[in-house]
Amino acid sequence: MGSQVSRLRNTHSGYEYLRAPSYQYLGCEYVLLLNFEGSGGTLSEIVLTHRADARAETAEKSCRDGLSGLREKMGRPISVDHGVQVWRLKTTIITVMEGRRRDFQIRYTPN
């Protein structure tokens, strides 16, 4: 990732975050955000956002397969509602949100 990572500041909270525009995870390309609590604070959230590309059918299948594998590994979610699924692990809450255009987001937050 190295030189692709940008350090930015949230205009509402004033907190810094790191952004990588192209991050490979689960066989798919994501925009990666690392959010921090306060200035110089601890990592508070990892956010992976995938924008679907209707022209890249093979890549989209790979993304869906990777996401299915993640869901299978985590088991039954504790909550399912309107395209949002939530899993609670020992130290992490994982949220998967799916949009209408096959876009999706994966969020990892500490428990």
Domain residue extents for the chain: 2-110
pLDDT for 79 beyond 90 = yes
pLDDT for 3 beyond 70 = no
* 58 against 11, higher pLDDT: 11
Mean pLDDT value of segment 30-35:
93
* 15 against 23, higher pLDDT: 23
Which architecture, in CATH terms, is 2-110?
3-Layer(aba) Sandwich (3.40)
The predicted structure's pLDDT at residue 2:
54
The predicted structure's pLDDT at residue 56:
75
Closest CA to 107 of 52, 76, 57, 70: 70
* 39 against 41, higher pLDDT: 41
Taking CA atoms, 41 is separated from 15, 31, 82, 111, in Å, by 9, 22, 33, 17
pLDDT for 11 beyond 90 = no
The predicted structure's pLDDT at residue 94:
96
